[in-house]
Amino acid sequence: MGKAQSVSISNYVTHSSASYPRIELHYQHFGQSWDKAPVILVNHSLTGDSNVAGPTGWWQELIGPGQTIDTNQFAVLAFNIPGNGFAQQIFDQPEDFHTGDIARLFKQGLDLLGIKQLYALIGGSIGGGIAWEMAALYPDLTQRLIPIAADWKASDWIIANTFFQKKILANSSDPLRDARIHAMLCYRNPESLESRFNRTYNEERSCFNVESWLQYHGDKLEQRFALKAYKMVNHLLGTIDITREQQDFTTIVSNISADIHLIAIDSDLFFTPQQDQKTYALIKPFKENIFFHEIASLHGHDAFLIEHEKVKTLLQTIFKHPISQKNYESSTRTYQ
């Protein structure tokens, strides 16, 4: 269980008319057989991958035997974003793709595996954006759509930050480390850093501990990520948009049959909770089965990778309620 596998997608043509004779879509499978149990697809975040469970899984606190996403009951799948460097897969032209292309590739992967419907489609950050894209393109694909710290579009703030990241990646003499240091300041917030470091100084390294921490994250990414792979995922982050073809937002979302559970983090400076609140306000008048949840945390955007108990409680609440139940306890909930 969890061993990396792949399916081959032939003759894929992107939105920009770029032709790829073959794309290997790498994935990992945890838990039950997907033809005998409900299937949950987990879309990873920017620098994550398909290794979501097990001893080294980045969401091991939530996915596993007896966990909230119980691999004794569910089949759990996670695809890698093509070009993210997993299994040394790199693309030279990130601009050939947008997140709608990734959504279509993921759907083709499900089709090749014989999976027709999902119990839940969950994604964090860019993974949540890809989940939105999948639901927009395939309105009956999943029973529950659960984007976490994400939105159906890249806001001006997201576009601005991905633009700045591209500048760093193109012009820095140490591009991966420098890009990661900047990104970490988007993923956390001032209160999170103050609560952790409180201006403490590292005498051994002759720098503030917050500087040492940022350098650590820069080093860690540089050691495990290829420059072209990071350019790919950063580019994709700025392309999220289910209305890119000038389609009407109301029509697109009205067609999505899934219960939509928006999960925001109150201190998120990246995909801000205000964006999810606007999305909820836009959709609620014409779609009853949409719900807004907010996690209270000091830790900003990365809280969905840190606040495991709060995320567990929230997902347990979502999973225990029948699909499209009109008398849901509350359509807006905050988890302290």
Is residue 246 very low, low, confident or very high in pLDDT (cuts 50, 70, 90)? Answer: confident
| pTM of the model as a whole | 0.94
List the domain range (segments joined by +) for residue 40: 5-155+242-335
- CATH code at 224? 1.10.1740.110
- CATH code at 89? 3.40.50.1820
**Amino acid, single-letter form, for residue 303:** A
pLDDT of residue 330: 39
Q: How far apart are CA 25 and CA 86, in angstroms?
A: 10
**Quick one: DSSP state of residue 322?**
P
Closest CA to 27 of 69, 84, 98, 65: 84
Whether residue 109 sits in one domain with residue 257: yes
Whether residue 163 sits in one domain with residue 202: yes
In the listed set 190, 212, 237, which residue is the last one of a domain according to the structure?
A: 237
Task: Name residue 145's beta-bridge partners.
Answer: 121, 260
In the listed set 237, 252, 277, which residue is the last one of a domain according to the structure?
A: 237
Reported as a single tens digit per residue, the pLDDT across 145-193 is: 999 999 999 999 999 999 999 999 999 999 999 999 999 999 999 999 9
Contact 125, 208 (CB under 8 A): no
Whether residue 147 sits in one domain with residue 70: yes
pLDDT of residue 1: 58
Closest CA to 306 of 198, 195, 220, 219: 195
Whether residue 128 sits in one domain with residue 41: yes
Reported as a single tens digit per residue, the pLDDT across 195-244 is: 999 999 999 999 999 999 999 999 999 999 999 999 999 999 999 999 99
In the listed set 237, 272, 302, which residue is the last one of a domain according to the structure?
A: 237
Name the domain count of the chain: 2
Residues 6+ apart with CB under 8 A from 261: 144, 145, 146, 290, 291, 293, 318
Contact 7, 198 (CB under 8 A): no
Phi, psi of 158 (to 5 degrees): -65, -45
Closest CA to 232 of 91, 86, 25: 91
pLDDT of residue 188: 96
Whether residue 100 sits in one domain with residue 57: yes
Closest CA to 200 of 188, 209, 211, 212: 209
